[in-house]
Structure 1
Amino acid sequence: MVQVARALAAALGALVALLAALSLVVPLDTVAWVAGLAGGLLVTASVAHAAPGVLGPADLVTLTRALLACVVAALVAQGVLGDQVTPLLVTVAATALALDAVDGRVARATGTQTGFGARFDGEADAFLLLVLSVPVAQEHGAWVLLVGLARYAFWGAGVVAPWLRAPLPRRDWRKVVTAVQGIALVVAASGVLPTVPTDAALLVALGLLAESFGRDVVWLARHRAGAHAGALGGRRLPVP
Protein backbone atom coordinates (compact mmCIF):
# COMPACT_ATOMS: atom_id res chain seq x y z
CA MET A 1 0.00 0.00 0.00
CA VAL A 2 1.18 3.51 -0.85
CA GLN A 3 -0.01 6.79 0.62
CA VAL A 4 -2.22 8.63 -1.87
CA ALA A 5 -0.28 11.90 -1.78
CA ARG A 6 3.04 10.15 -2.35
CA ALA A 7 1.65 8.03 -5.20
CA LEU A 8 0.10 11.02 -6.97
CA ALA A 9 3.23 13.14 -6.65
CA ALA A 10 5.27 10.31 -8.15
CA ALA A 11 2.67 9.88 -10.90
CA LEU A 12 2.86 13.53 -11.95
CA GLY A 13 6.65 13.36 -11.94
CA ALA A 14 6.53 10.24 -14.11
CA LEU A 15 4.12 11.94 -16.53
CA VAL A 16 6.46 14.92 -16.96
CA ALA A 17 9.37 12.52 -17.53
CA LEU A 18 7.38 10.57 -20.14
CA LEU A 19 6.37 13.70 -22.01
CA ALA A 20 9.97 14.93 -21.93
CA ALA A 21 11.20 11.59 -23.30
CA LEU A 22 8.59 11.74 -26.08
CA SER A 23 9.79 15.22 -26.96
CA LEU A 24 13.13 13.69 -27.93
CA VAL A 25 11.33 11.61 -30.57
CA VAL A 26 8.50 13.93 -31.63
CA PRO A 27 8.97 17.54 -30.49
CA LEU A 28 5.82 18.35 -28.53
CA ASP A 29 4.20 21.73 -29.03
CA THR A 30 2.92 23.73 -26.07
CA VAL A 31 -0.62 22.57 -26.87
CA ALA A 32 0.46 18.93 -26.52
CA TRP A 33 2.16 19.60 -23.20
CA VAL A 34 -0.93 21.42 -21.93
CA ALA A 35 -3.20 18.54 -23.01
CA GLY A 36 -1.03 15.92 -21.32
CA LEU A 37 -0.47 17.84 -18.11
CA ALA A 38 -4.10 18.97 -17.87
CA GLY A 39 -5.15 15.33 -18.13
CA GLY A 40 -2.64 14.39 -15.44
CA LEU A 41 -3.89 17.09 -13.08
CA LEU A 42 -7.49 16.01 -13.68
CA VAL A 43 -6.64 12.38 -12.95
CA THR A 44 -4.66 13.11 -9.79
CA ALA A 45 -7.22 15.58 -8.47
CA SER A 46 -10.00 13.05 -9.01
CA VAL A 47 -8.05 10.30 -7.26
CA ALA A 48 -7.12 12.60 -4.38
CA HIS A 49 -10.81 13.44 -3.93
CA ALA A 50 -12.22 9.91 -4.14
CA ALA A 51 -9.49 7.55 -2.95
CA PRO A 52 -9.13 6.17 0.57
CA GLY A 53 -5.94 7.00 2.44
CA VAL A 54 -3.79 4.51 0.52
CA LEU A 55 -3.61 3.00 -2.96
CA GLY A 56 -3.24 -0.74 -3.38
CA PRO A 57 -1.11 -2.47 -6.01
CA ALA A 58 -4.01 -2.76 -8.44
CA ASP A 59 -4.81 0.95 -8.00
CA LEU A 60 -1.21 1.75 -8.95
CA VAL A 61 -1.59 -0.25 -12.16
CA THR A 62 -4.80 1.64 -12.94
CA LEU A 63 -3.05 4.92 -12.18
CA THR A 64 -0.35 3.97 -14.67
CA ARG A 65 -3.03 3.30 -17.29
CA ALA A 66 -4.60 6.68 -16.63
CA LEU A 67 -1.23 8.42 -17.02
CA LEU A 68 -0.63 6.61 -20.31
CA ALA A 69 -4.02 7.94 -21.45
CA CYS A 70 -2.70 11.43 -20.65
CA VAL A 71 0.32 10.75 -22.87
CA VAL A 72 -2.09 9.64 -25.60
CA ALA A 73 -3.95 12.94 -25.12
CA ALA A 74 -0.71 14.84 -25.68
CA LEU A 75 0.03 12.85 -28.84
CA VAL A 76 -3.51 13.40 -30.12
CA ALA A 77 -3.08 17.15 -29.63
CA GLN A 78 0.23 17.01 -31.49
CA GLY A 79 -1.38 15.04 -34.29
CA VAL A 80 -4.13 17.63 -34.63
CA LEU A 81 -1.35 20.15 -35.35
CA GLY A 82 -0.34 18.04 -38.34
CA ASP A 83 2.60 16.00 -37.04
CA GLN A 84 2.90 12.28 -37.70
CA VAL A 85 2.48 10.62 -34.31
CA THR A 86 0.47 7.52 -35.22
CA PRO A 87 3.13 4.87 -34.40
CA LEU A 88 3.80 6.34 -30.97
CA LEU A 89 0.11 6.93 -30.27
CA VAL A 90 -0.81 3.34 -31.15
CA THR A 91 2.07 1.94 -29.09
CA VAL A 92 1.18 3.91 -25.95
CA ALA A 93 -2.56 3.23 -26.32
CA ALA A 94 -1.99 -0.50 -26.89
CA THR A 95 0.16 -0.62 -23.74
CA ALA A 96 -2.61 1.04 -21.73
CA LEU A 97 -5.13 -1.45 -23.11
CA ALA A 98 -2.89 -4.39 -22.24
CA LEU A 99 -2.60 -3.14 -18.64
CA ASP A 100 -6.40 -3.17 -18.44
CA ALA A 101 -6.15 -6.96 -18.17
CA VAL A 102 -3.67 -6.67 -15.30
CA ASP A 103 -5.18 -4.50 -12.56
CA GLY A 104 -8.18 -6.75 -11.91
CA ARG A 105 -5.98 -9.82 -11.64
CA VAL A 106 -3.61 -8.01 -9.29
CA ALA A 107 -6.53 -6.94 -7.09
CA ARG A 108 -7.85 -10.51 -6.85
CA ALA A 109 -4.40 -12.01 -6.32
CA THR A 110 -3.57 -9.59 -3.50
CA GLY A 111 -7.03 -9.50 -1.94
CA THR A 112 -7.22 -5.73 -2.38
CA GLN A 113 -10.47 -5.39 -4.33
CA THR A 114 -12.34 -2.21 -3.38
CA GLY A 115 -15.27 -0.20 -4.62
CA PHE A 116 -12.93 2.69 -5.34
CA GLY A 117 -10.67 0.43 -7.41
CA ALA A 118 -13.58 -0.75 -9.54
CA ARG A 119 -14.75 2.84 -10.15
CA PHE A 120 -11.22 4.03 -10.89
CA ASP A 121 -10.77 1.19 -13.38
CA GLY A 122 -13.95 2.19 -15.21
CA GLU A 123 -13.05 5.88 -15.31
CA ALA A 124 -9.54 5.11 -16.63
CA ASP A 125 -11.14 3.06 -19.42
CA ALA A 126 -13.58 5.85 -20.26
CA PHE A 127 -10.86 8.49 -20.38
CA LEU A 128 -8.70 6.44 -22.75
CA LEU A 129 -11.66 5.73 -25.05
CA LEU A 130 -12.57 9.42 -25.14
CA VAL A 131 -9.04 10.45 -26.07
CA LEU A 132 -8.68 7.73 -28.71
CA SER A 133 -12.02 8.58 -30.32
CA VAL A 134 -10.79 12.06 -31.28
CA PRO A 135 -8.20 11.15 -33.95
CA VAL A 136 -10.35 8.28 -35.23
CA ALA A 137 -13.31 10.65 -35.63
CA GLN A 138 -11.15 12.91 -37.77
CA GLU A 139 -10.66 10.08 -40.25
CA HIS A 140 -13.96 8.19 -40.02
CA GLY A 141 -16.55 10.78 -39.04
CA ALA A 142 -17.82 12.60 -35.97
CA TRP A 143 -20.13 9.67 -35.11
CA VAL A 144 -17.09 7.83 -33.70
CA LEU A 145 -17.08 10.33 -30.83
CA LEU A 146 -20.17 8.53 -29.53
CA VAL A 147 -17.85 5.72 -28.44
CA GLY A 148 -15.77 8.09 -26.36
CA LEU A 149 -18.64 10.18 -25.03
CA ALA A 150 -21.01 7.33 -24.03
CA ARG A 151 -19.76 7.02 -20.44
CA TYR A 152 -19.95 10.76 -19.89
CA ALA A 153 -23.41 10.99 -21.46
CA PHE A 154 -24.54 8.30 -19.01
CA TRP A 155 -23.03 10.28 -16.15
CA GLY A 156 -24.79 13.44 -17.35
CA ALA A 157 -28.09 11.59 -17.54
CA GLY A 158 -27.53 10.53 -13.93
CA VAL A 159 -27.33 14.18 -12.90
CA VAL A 160 -30.79 14.75 -14.35
CA ALA A 161 -32.20 11.37 -13.22
CA PRO A 162 -30.44 10.36 -9.98
CA TRP A 163 -31.83 6.80 -10.14
CA LEU A 164 -29.31 6.17 -12.94
CA ARG A 165 -26.51 6.60 -10.38
CA ALA A 166 -27.60 3.60 -8.31
CA PRO A 167 -24.98 0.82 -7.94
CA LEU A 168 -25.02 -1.78 -10.69
CA PRO A 169 -24.32 -5.49 -10.21
CA ARG A 170 -21.01 -6.78 -11.50
CA ARG A 171 -21.22 -7.94 -15.10
CA ASP A 172 -18.08 -9.23 -16.83
CA TRP A 173 -19.63 -8.45 -20.20
CA ARG A 174 -18.94 -4.76 -19.56
CA LYS A 175 -15.20 -5.45 -19.51
CA VAL A 176 -15.50 -7.40 -22.76
CA VAL A 177 -17.36 -4.53 -24.42
CA THR A 178 -14.80 -2.01 -23.15
CA ALA A 179 -11.97 -4.12 -24.53
CA VAL A 180 -13.72 -4.30 -27.92
CA GLN A 181 -14.04 -0.48 -27.97
CA GLY A 182 -10.37 -0.04 -27.20
CA ILE A 183 -9.18 -2.58 -29.76
CA ALA A 184 -11.44 -1.15 -32.47
CA LEU A 185 -10.22 2.39 -31.81
CA VAL A 186 -6.54 1.41 -31.75
CA VAL A 187 -6.89 -0.57 -34.99
CA ALA A 188 -8.71 2.36 -36.58
CA ALA A 189 -6.08 4.83 -35.37
CA SER A 190 -3.29 2.65 -36.77
CA GLY A 191 -4.79 2.67 -40.26
CA VAL A 192 -3.76 -0.94 -40.92
CA LEU A 193 -7.17 -1.85 -42.38
CA PRO A 194 -9.06 -0.32 -45.31
CA THR A 195 -11.84 2.14 -44.56
CA VAL A 196 -14.82 -0.18 -45.06
CA PRO A 197 -13.78 -2.96 -42.62
CA THR A 198 -12.57 -0.35 -40.14
CA ASP A 199 -15.93 1.43 -40.23
CA ALA A 200 -17.68 -1.93 -39.84
CA ALA A 201 -15.58 -2.76 -36.77
CA LEU A 202 -16.32 0.64 -35.24
CA LEU A 203 -20.05 0.23 -35.89
CA VAL A 204 -20.02 -3.20 -34.22
CA ALA A 205 -18.16 -1.72 -31.25
CA LEU A 206 -20.68 1.11 -30.99
CA GLY A 207 -23.57 -1.36 -31.22
CA LEU A 208 -22.14 -3.46 -28.38
CA LEU A 209 -21.68 -0.31 -26.31
CA ALA A 210 -25.29 0.71 -26.88
CA GLU A 211 -26.46 -2.77 -25.89
CA SER A 212 -24.39 -2.76 -22.70
CA PHE A 213 -25.55 0.69 -21.56
CA GLY A 214 -29.11 -0.12 -22.59
CA ARG A 215 -29.12 -3.26 -20.48
CA ASP A 216 -27.86 -1.29 -17.49
CA VAL A 217 -30.54 1.36 -17.95
CA VAL A 218 -33.27 -1.31 -18.14
CA TRP A 219 -31.92 -2.99 -14.98
CA LEU A 220 -31.84 0.33 -13.12
CA ALA A 221 -35.35 1.22 -14.29
CA ARG A 222 -36.78 -2.12 -13.17
CA HIS A 223 -35.13 -1.97 -9.77
CA ARG A 224 -36.15 1.64 -9.34
CA ALA A 225 -39.78 0.60 -9.94
CA GLY A 226 -39.37 -2.35 -7.55
CA ALA A 227 -37.89 -0.18 -4.82
CA HIS A 228 -40.70 2.35 -5.26
CA ALA A 229 -43.35 -0.39 -5.07
CA GLY A 230 -41.71 -1.83 -1.96
CA ALA A 231 -41.72 1.55 -0.32
CA LEU A 232 -45.45 1.98 -1.05
CA GLY A 233 -46.23 -1.53 0.11
CA GLY A 234 -44.50 -0.96 3.43
CA ARG A 235 -46.09 2.40 4.07
CA ARG A 236 -48.63 2.46 6.90
CA LEU A 237 -52.01 4.01 6.26
CA PRO A 238 -52.97 6.86 8.56
CA VAL A 239 -55.23 5.84 11.44
CA PRO A 240 -58.58 7.70 11.32
Structure 2
Amino acid sequence: MTLSTAEAAAGPSRGPVLGLAAQLALLALLGSTLGLTAGALVAGAAYGLVLCALLGAGLGRAGMTQLGAANSVTLSRAILVGGVTAMVVTSFTHPVSTPMLVVIAGVALALDGVDGQVARRTNTTTALGARFDMEIDAFLILVLSVYAGDRYGWWWVAIGAFRYAFVAAAWAWPWLNAALPPRFSRKVVAAVQGVALALVTAGFLPAFGAVVVLALALGSLTWSFGLDVHWLYRAMRVREAARTRWSAVPSRRPALAH
Protein backbone atom coordinates (compact mmCIF):
# COMPACT_ATOMS: atom_id res chain seq x y z
CA MET A 1 0.00 0.00 0.00
CA THR A 2 3.03 2.37 0.14
CA LEU A 3 2.80 5.10 -2.47
CA SER A 4 5.57 5.33 -5.03
CA THR A 5 8.16 8.10 -5.11
CA ALA A 6 6.59 9.51 -8.27
CA GLU A 7 3.21 9.69 -6.59
CA ALA A 8 4.76 11.27 -3.49
CA ALA A 9 6.34 13.99 -5.63
CA ALA A 10 3.13 14.72 -7.46
CA GLY A 11 2.21 17.61 -5.27
CA PRO A 12 -0.08 18.27 -2.31
CA SER A 13 -3.26 18.25 -4.39
CA ARG A 14 -2.60 14.93 -6.13
CA GLY A 15 -1.21 13.06 -3.10
CA PRO A 16 -4.41 13.15 -1.01
CA VAL A 17 -6.51 12.31 -4.09
CA LEU A 18 -4.38 9.23 -4.75
CA GLY A 19 -4.67 8.38 -1.08
CA LEU A 20 -8.46 8.53 -1.25
CA ALA A 21 -8.44 6.34 -4.34
CA ALA A 22 -6.24 3.80 -2.55
CA GLN A 23 -8.55 3.88 0.46
CA LEU A 24 -11.61 3.15 -1.68
CA ALA A 25 -9.74 0.38 -3.48
CA LEU A 26 -8.78 -1.26 -0.18
CA LEU A 27 -12.36 -1.04 1.06
CA ALA A 28 -13.64 -2.59 -2.17
CA LEU A 29 -11.13 -5.43 -1.83
CA LEU A 30 -12.00 -6.09 1.81
CA GLY A 31 -15.69 -5.78 1.11
CA SER A 32 -15.61 -8.34 -1.69
CA THR A 33 -13.42 -10.84 0.16
CA LEU A 34 -14.49 -10.44 3.79
CA GLY A 35 -18.12 -9.44 3.44
CA LEU A 36 -17.99 -6.03 5.12
CA THR A 37 -21.35 -4.46 5.87
CA ALA A 38 -22.66 -1.45 3.97
CA GLY A 39 -22.40 0.68 7.09
CA ALA A 40 -18.77 -0.35 7.51
CA LEU A 41 -17.96 0.60 3.92
CA VAL A 42 -19.63 3.97 4.40
CA ALA A 43 -17.68 4.51 7.63
CA GLY A 44 -14.40 3.58 5.93
CA ALA A 45 -15.12 5.83 2.95
CA ALA A 46 -16.07 8.73 5.23
CA TYR A 47 -12.85 8.24 7.18
CA GLY A 48 -10.82 8.29 3.97
CA LEU A 49 -12.57 11.39 2.69
CA VAL A 50 -12.01 13.33 5.94
CA LEU A 51 -8.44 12.07 6.19
CA CYS A 52 -7.44 13.17 2.70
CA ALA A 53 -9.30 16.48 2.96
CA LEU A 54 -7.48 17.34 6.19
CA LEU A 55 -4.15 16.21 4.73
CA GLY A 56 -4.65 18.38 1.66
CA ALA A 57 -5.54 21.37 3.84
CA GLY A 58 -2.50 20.74 6.02
CA LEU A 59 -0.18 20.57 3.03
CA GLY A 60 -1.63 23.83 1.74
CA ARG A 61 -1.20 25.63 5.07
CA ALA A 62 2.38 24.36 5.37
CA GLY A 63 3.15 25.57 1.85
CA MET A 64 4.42 22.10 0.90
CA THR A 65 4.53 21.34 -2.83
CA GLN A 66 5.37 17.66 -2.34
CA LEU A 67 3.89 14.98 -0.12
CA GLY A 68 7.32 13.48 0.48
CA ALA A 69 8.47 9.93 1.13
CA ALA A 70 7.89 10.01 4.90
CA ASN A 71 4.36 11.37 4.59
CA SER A 72 3.68 8.76 1.91
CA VAL A 73 4.51 6.03 4.43
CA THR A 74 2.23 7.68 6.99
CA LEU A 75 -0.54 7.97 4.40
CA SER A 76 -0.13 4.27 3.64
CA ARG A 77 -0.55 3.51 7.34
CA ALA A 78 -3.59 5.77 7.43
CA ILE A 79 -5.18 3.85 4.55
CA LEU A 80 -4.67 0.60 6.45
CA VAL A 81 -6.33 2.20 9.48
CA GLY A 82 -9.33 2.92 7.27
CA GLY A 83 -9.54 -0.79 6.53
CA VAL A 84 -9.30 -1.60 10.24
CA THR A 85 -12.08 0.91 10.93
CA ALA A 86 -14.40 -0.75 8.42
CA MET A 87 -13.68 -4.20 9.86
CA VAL A 88 -14.33 -3.06 13.43
CA VAL A 89 -17.65 -1.47 12.39
CA THR A 90 -18.60 -4.74 10.69
CA SER A 91 -17.74 -6.70 13.86
CA PHE A 92 -20.59 -5.00 15.72
CA THR A 93 -23.15 -6.99 13.74
CA HIS A 94 -21.26 -9.69 11.83
CA PRO A 95 -18.19 -11.84 12.50
CA VAL A 96 -14.99 -10.60 10.89
CA SER A 97 -11.77 -12.38 10.02
CA THR A 98 -9.67 -11.95 13.15
CA PRO A 99 -6.42 -12.99 11.39
CA MET A 100 -6.97 -10.40 8.66
CA LEU A 101 -7.85 -7.72 11.20
CA VAL A 102 -4.71 -8.50 13.19
CA VAL A 103 -2.52 -8.54 10.08
CA ILE A 104 -3.76 -5.17 8.79
CA ALA A 105 -3.62 -3.52 12.22
CA GLY A 106 -0.24 -5.14 12.90
CA VAL A 107 1.27 -3.78 9.69
CA ALA A 108 -0.07 -0.31 10.50
CA LEU A 109 1.47 -0.53 13.97
CA ALA A 110 4.76 -1.96 12.71
CA LEU A 111 5.16 0.89 10.20
CA ASP A 112 4.80 3.44 13.01
CA GLY A 113 8.53 4.07 13.30
CA VAL A 114 9.32 3.79 9.61
CA ASP A 115 8.00 7.19 8.56
CA GLY A 116 10.07 8.93 11.23
CA GLN A 117 13.23 7.13 10.14
CA VAL A 118 12.55 8.00 6.51
CA ALA A 119 12.02 11.66 7.44
CA ARG A 120 15.28 11.81 9.39
CA ARG A 121 17.33 10.02 6.73
CA THR A 122 15.98 12.21 3.95
CA ASN A 123 16.16 15.36 6.10
CA THR A 124 12.46 16.02 5.51
CA THR A 125 11.23 16.20 9.11
CA THR A 126 8.29 18.63 9.35
CA ALA A 127 5.74 19.67 11.95
CA LEU A 128 2.99 18.49 9.61
CA GLY A 129 4.56 15.05 9.29
CA ALA A 130 4.91 14.68 13.05
CA ARG A 131 1.29 15.75 13.62
CA PHE A 132 0.05 13.48 10.82
CA ASP A 133 1.87 10.51 12.32
CA MET A 134 0.56 11.24 15.82
CA GLU A 135 -3.05 11.59 14.68
CA ILE A 136 -2.98 8.29 12.79
CA ASP A 137 -1.51 6.53 15.82
CA ALA A 138 -4.18 8.00 18.07
CA PHE A 139 -7.04 7.04 15.78
CA LEU A 140 -5.79 3.47 15.34
CA ILE A 141 -5.56 3.07 19.12
CA LEU A 142 -9.09 4.46 19.44
CA VAL A 143 -10.49 2.01 16.87
CA LEU A 144 -8.76 -0.99 18.46
CA SER A 145 -9.94 0.10 21.91
CA VAL A 146 -13.51 0.21 20.58
CA TYR A 147 -13.05 -3.36 19.31
CA ALA A 148 -11.78 -4.41 22.76
CA GLY A 149 -14.56 -2.49 24.49
CA ASP A 150 -17.23 -4.31 22.51
CA ARG A 151 -15.90 -7.58 23.88
CA TYR A 152 -14.54 -6.86 27.36
CA GLY A 153 -16.46 -3.81 28.55
CA TRP A 154 -16.91 -0.36 27.10
CA TRP A 155 -14.84 1.41 29.71
CA TRP A 156 -11.71 0.08 27.92
CA VAL A 157 -12.48 2.61 25.21
CA ALA A 158 -10.86 5.05 27.63
CA ILE A 159 -7.51 3.80 26.28
CA GLY A 160 -8.27 5.35 22.91
CA ALA A 161 -10.31 8.26 24.22
CA PHE A 162 -7.62 9.54 26.59
CA ARG A 163 -5.84 11.61 23.98
CA TYR A 164 -9.05 13.14 22.62
CA ALA A 165 -10.20 13.98 26.15
CA PHE A 166 -6.86 15.74 26.67
CA VAL A 167 -7.40 17.78 23.48
CA ALA A 168 -10.92 18.70 24.58
CA ALA A 169 -9.65 19.72 28.02
CA ALA A 170 -7.10 22.00 26.36
CA TRP A 171 -9.97 24.06 24.93
CA ALA A 172 -11.07 24.86 28.47
CA TRP A 173 -7.55 25.16 29.93
CA PRO A 174 -5.22 26.55 27.24
CA TRP A 175 -2.15 25.93 29.41
CA LEU A 176 -2.46 22.27 28.41
CA ASN A 177 -1.41 23.30 24.88
CA ALA A 178 2.11 24.24 25.98
CA ALA A 179 5.00 22.23 24.52
CA LEU A 180 6.10 19.23 26.53
CA PRO A 181 9.74 18.19 26.96
CA PRO A 182 10.75 14.91 25.31
CA ARG A 183 10.26 11.91 27.59
CA PHE A 184 11.30 8.38 26.65
CA SER A 185 8.72 6.80 28.93
CA ARG A 186 5.98 8.54 26.94
CA LYS A 187 7.09 6.69 23.82
CA VAL A 188 7.29 3.39 25.70
CA VAL A 189 3.77 3.81 27.08
CA ALA A 190 2.43 4.66 23.61
CA ALA A 191 4.02 1.50 22.22
CA VAL A 192 2.54 -0.54 25.08
CA GLN A 193 -0.96 0.53 24.06
CA GLY A 194 -0.51 -0.77 20.54
CA VAL A 195 1.04 -4.07 21.65
CA ALA A 196 -1.63 -4.65 24.32
CA LEU A 197 -4.52 -3.94 21.96
CA ALA A 198 -2.98 -6.09 19.24
CA LEU A 199 -2.73 -9.03 21.67
CA VAL A 200 -6.32 -8.57 22.79
CA THR A 201 -7.57 -8.19 19.22
CA ALA A 202 -5.76 -11.36 18.16
CA GLY A 203 -7.65 -13.35 20.79
CA PHE A 204 -4.52 -15.12 22.01
CA LEU A 205 -5.40 -14.48 25.65
CA PRO A 206 -8.19 -15.87 27.80
CA ALA A 207 -10.79 -13.36 28.96
CA PHE A 208 -9.12 -12.80 32.32
CA GLY A 209 -5.69 -12.36 30.70
CA ALA A 210 -7.10 -9.89 28.18
CA VAL A 211 -8.63 -7.81 30.97
CA VAL A 212 -5.33 -7.83 32.89
CA VAL A 213 -3.43 -6.66 29.79
CA LEU A 214 -5.99 -3.92 29.12
CA ALA A 215 -5.82 -2.81 32.76
CA LEU A 216 -2.03 -2.57 32.62
CA ALA A 217 -2.23 -0.59 29.38
CA LEU A 218 -4.82 1.81 30.77
CA GLY A 219 -2.92 2.18 34.04
CA SER A 220 0.34 3.04 32.29
CA LEU A 221 -1.48 5.51 30.04
CA THR A 222 -3.13 7.20 33.03
CA TRP A 223 0.26 7.50 34.73
CA SER A 224 1.87 8.99 31.59
CA PHE A 225 -0.88 11.55 31.01
CA GLY A 226 -0.82 12.38 34.71
CA LEU A 227 2.88 13.18 34.53
CA ASP A 228 2.35 15.43 31.52
CA VAL A 229 -0.60 17.28 33.07
CA HIS A 230 1.36 17.78 36.31
CA TRP A 231 4.37 19.14 34.39
CA LEU A 232 2.19 21.49 32.33
CA TYR A 233 0.40 22.75 35.43
CA ARG A 234 3.67 23.50 37.23
CA ALA A 235 5.02 25.24 34.12
CA MET A 236 1.87 27.36 33.97
CA ARG A 237 2.27 28.36 37.63
CA VAL A 238 5.91 29.30 37.04
CA ARG A 239 4.93 31.49 34.07
CA GLU A 240 2.19 33.18 36.09
CA ALA A 241 4.56 33.85 38.98
CA ALA A 242 7.11 35.34 36.59
CA ARG A 243 4.49 37.63 35.06
CA THR A 244 3.35 38.72 38.51
CA ARG A 245 6.89 39.56 39.59
CA TRP A 246 7.55 41.44 36.34
CA SER A 247 4.37 43.49 36.63
CA ALA A 248 5.29 44.42 40.20
CA VAL A 249 8.67 45.89 39.19
CA PRO A 250 8.41 49.72 38.92
CA SER A 251 9.29 51.26 35.60
CA ARG A 252 12.96 52.17 35.30
CA ARG A 253 12.35 54.75 32.61
CA PRO A 254 13.34 58.27 33.74
CA ALA A 255 10.49 60.68 34.32
CA LEU A 256 10.00 63.32 31.63
CA ALA A 257 11.42 66.73 32.55
CA HIS A 258 8.86 69.48 32.99
Deviation of the 1:238 alpha carbon: 6.6
Q: 1:115 aligns with which of 127, 143, 157?
A: 127
- Cα distance in 2 for partners of 1:56, 1:174 equals 27
TM-score normalised per structure 1: 0.94
**Structure 1: unaligned runs, 5 residues or longer:** none
TM value normalised by structure 2: 0.88
Task: Note if contact 2:40-2:89 (Cα within 8 Å) is conserved in structure 1.
Answer: yes
Equivalent residue in structure 2 for 1:140, among 140, 152, 156: 152
Q: How far is the alpha carbon of 1:204 from its aligned partner?
A: 0.8
| Equivalenced residues, count | 240
- For residue 8 of structure 1, report the CA deviation from its aligned partner: 0.3
Aligned-partner residue type, residue 12 of structure 2: V
Q: Distance in 2 between matches of 1:226 and 1:56?
A: 40
**1:64 and 2:63 equivalent?**
no
Match of 1:188 among 193, 200, 204: 200
> What is the rounded CA distance, in whole Å, between the counterparts of 2:183 and 2:71 in structure 1?
20
Once the 2 structures are TM-superposed, how far is the Cα of residue 114 of structure 1 from its aligned partner? Answer: 1.6
Distance 1:175 1:55, change over 3 A: farther
Q: 1:27 aligned to 35, 40, 43, which one? A: 35
**Alignment-mate amino acid for residue 82 of structure 2:** C
CA distance in 1, matches of 2:73, 2:84: 17
Identify the range of structure 1 (104-113 vs 80-89) with the bigger mean alpha-carbon deviation: 80-89
Q: What runs of 5+ residues in structure 2 fail to find an aligned partner?
A: 1-7
Q: CA deviation at 1:24?
A: 2.6
Q: Which moved more, 1:38-47 or 1:96-105?
A: 38-47
1:50 alignment partner, one of 58, 68, 72? 58
**2:31/2:41 contact within 8 Å kept:** no
Paired-residue identity, %: 44
Q: 1:65-214 alignment to 2 at 5 Å?
A: 65-214=77-226
Range moving further from structure 2, 111-120 or 69-78? 111-120
Q: 1:55-75 CA distances to partner (integer Å, 9 max, x unpaired)? A: 222121111111211110100
User: For residue 21 of structure 2, what is the aligned residue in structure 1?
Assistant: 13
- Measure the CA separation in 2 of the matches of 1:49 and 1:163: 26
RMSD (Å), alpha carbons: 1.7
1:212-231: per-residue Cα shift (whole Å, max 9, x none)?
11111111111111111222
Q: Counterpart of 1:55 in 2: which secondary structure?
A: coil
- Structure 1: how far apart are the matches of 2:74 and 2:186? 17
Partner of 2:5: none
Larger radius of gyration: 2
Tell me the amino acid that sits aligned with residue 154 of structure 1.
F
Tell me how far apart the structure 2 counterparts of residues 169 and 36 of structure 1 sit (CA, whole Å).
35
